[in-house]
Structure 1
Amino acid sequence: MRKSFQHVIATLNLFQGTHSLTIFLLAAIFVLSSCDDSSSASSNGSDENAAVDSSSSVCKDCDDESSSSAKKIESSAEKDVESSDDAKIDESSSIKENRTSSSSVKTDDSSSSKKDVSSSSVSSSSSVKSSSSSSVKQSSSSVGFIDPDDVVTGTMTDSRDNKVYKTVTIGTQTWMAENLNYAYTSVPYKFDSKYGSYTSDSTSWCYDDDPSNCDKYGRLYTWAASMDSIGTWSTNGIGCGYGSTCSPTYPVRGICPTGWHLPTKAEFETLFTAVGGSFQAAKRLKSASGWEAAGEATDAYGFSALPAGARDNKGAFSSPGLYAYFWSATEFRDYAYNMFLYSNDEFAYLEYNYKYDGFSVRCVKDSD
């Protein structure tokens, strides 16, 4: 501004005379124009500075707010991250817990979760296979397991020949604790097939036709004889024999003494359950002596199953000391079910065989 006035005065001193007024006016206009430009420039500068200051001021204010907001956002973000991390940690922990829980089923650790899992599996093979009576009791109590200490022993007499047999009560069932040795000889045996025929004067035999074996093992009977297919003592098993199917009325007394009957397949299954399951039934039902593998037999329940072997349809005897077969009253087409025990096996089987085979018989007492 000051430089502009000095410039005007210098111009007036230069131009003096008649045209001084005109020149003065022109100079004034020039000065005013310069002032306007300067003022405008100054004003623009001030506005820009003000804008900068204002912007700076706003930014300063905003910095505080934005800083606060940023901090809030950052804090919130951190919390979200922490929350996410926590979630991941929780998820990871949950996975680990699940894996731990899963692994607890597979290991023998004594943690409570593993005990719960193992105890919830009532019929697991590991608990059934345990040789400890208490563990078997615990695992099988809900399915009818009977502790060996709870069995009741006794005797019964067959009024037909006055033979006395040991008995054992296991839970709700009372069984003969010896193989039946009633000499069923009044009916001859005849077997015909395309391969030939075979006849015998009896449908029950002592092993190897040696009477001393009857004293030891009891007799071997065809299924027809076991069911009393001609109706000597009852009509429930009439017509049940080889080459035909029948519809017996249960219980089937068959060849058993009065008040007793030939067990069904289901009654054998009940017996297996009562002694801890089929996985251990053979070991616990077999006599402690008389088997080739004596170490596989404990006779824990006094059932004393003996390995009497078998007799086929041609009169050949086999496997004493190695196998035991016991007829049931349940047929399957041309076959009939039987309980099968093997010397070297702890497992008890329910299988079916030809009705003409000669097997042992164990009778079970009729329900009261």
Structure 2
Amino acid sequence: MKKGHLLILLFSIFSTISCSKKNDTKPGDTNVVNINGTNYATVKIGTQTWTAVNYNGPGGENYNRSLDNDPVTGKFYSLTQAMAITLPAGWRLPTREDADKLLLFLGATKDINNNVQGDAAVSTKLRSKSGWSLTQGTNDSGFNAYPVGLAYNAYEGTGTDTTFWTASVGPFSFVQYTLRITNDRGASLNFVTVEYRNYINSCRFSVRFVKDN
């Protein structure tokens, strides 16, 4: 083979490998993003990259208003606090559409009202391998949702539930779309859904961020 042809062949192989690596969006690929001085693990899921741990930055409140912060669970934030968090370029508080895209990639479906909900198989892929009161997740997606519960006027759902804010307002001004993952009272309520919540001024939920790959 001539030298010129060999160089062209090698360049072609290198380019193919490089493009393959660049476009690889399989669940499980991890990296980090620095948000307000703290590194957070990230994971590629489909055409998106998500933070793979709950936000634990300034503001918010520790679980059960504890004085001791637990970086595994992160903090709970009001909607106002979540919307005000400063993020690196490209990153954002997820919208309803972002949450829908995540669930649909993992196998969820839309109902007749165009709402996205995943069954136990989808929930299991998103849930952490420990901490859940009933069945543990497989975390096949790398999202690693830990069952920290949620907070209204009191704390509830620890071990069975976790809810994340989105930036999308619901069908009425006093409700907000959220991403909810649950494993409550058996398989019939082992699901994940994008749904809107009422009484948002008294809600404190966990926070994740997303960007496009």
Give the TM-score normalised by structure 2: 0.73
Change (3 A) 1:349 1:325: same
> Aligned AA for 1:207?
Y
- Give the match for residue 363 of structure 1: 209
1:194-230 deviations in whole A, cap 9, x for unaligned? xxxxxxxxxx2111112445322111111121112xx
- 1:352 Cα deviation (Å)? 1.3
Q: Write the mapping of 1:1-368 to structure 2, written as runs, cut at 5 A.
A: 151-158=28-35, 160=36, 162-184=37-59, 204-228=60-84, 255-259=85-89, 260-277=91-108, 278-279=118-119, 280-295=121-136, 297-312=137-152, 314=153, 316-332=154-170, 333=172, 334-344=174-184, 345-353=189-197, 354-356=199-201, 357-365=203-211, 367=212
> Aligned AA for 1:330?
S
Give the secondary structure class of the aligned counterpart of 1:347: strand
Change (3 A) 1:176 1:317: same
1:309-350 deviations in whole A, cap 9, x for unaligned? 1221x4x22222121000011112201010111123432111
Change (3 A) 1:153 1:271: same
Give the secondary structure class of the aligned counterpart of 2:87: coil
- Give the match for residue 194 of structure 1: none
- 1:148 Cα deviation (Å)? 9.2
Change (3 A) 1:178 1:318: same
Q: In the comparison of the two structures, how many residue pairs are matched?
A: 171
Inter-partner Cα distance in structure 1 for 2:132 and 2:27 = 26
| Identity percentage of aligned residues | 31
Inter-partner Cα distance in structure 2 for 1:211 and 1:217 = 14
Give the secondary structure class of the aligned counterpart of 1:308: coil
Contact 1:256 1:363 in 2 (8 A): no
* Runs of 5+ unmatched residues, structure 1: 1-146, 185-203, 229-254
Give the secondary structure class of the aligned counterpart of 2:146: coil
Change (3 A) 1:175 1:150: closer
Give the secondary structure class of the aligned counterpart of 1:348: strand
Contact 1:183 1:219 in 2 (8 A): no
- 1:294 Cα deviation (Å)? 3.1
Contact 2:26 2:44 in 1 (8 A): no
Inter-partner Cα distance in structure 2 for 1:211 and 1:288 = 27
1:342-367 deviations in whole A, cap 9, x for unaligned? 123432111111222000011002x4
Contact 2:25 2:47 in 1 (8 A): no
Change (3 A) 1:272 1:256: farther
Larger radius of gyration: 1
Give the secondary structure class of the aligned counterpart of 2:130: coil
Change (3 A) 1:150 1:325: closer
Contact 2:168 2:176 in 1 (8 A): yes
Cα-Cα RMSD: 2.0
Identify the structure with bigger relative contact order (alpha carbons < 8 Å, sequence gap 6+). Answer: 2
Inter-partner Cα distance in structure 2 for 1:206 and 1:270 = 30
Inter-partner Cα distance in structure 1 for 2:25 and 2:191 = 18
> Aligned AA for 2:208?
R
Runs of 4+ in 1 over 6 A off after TM superposition: none
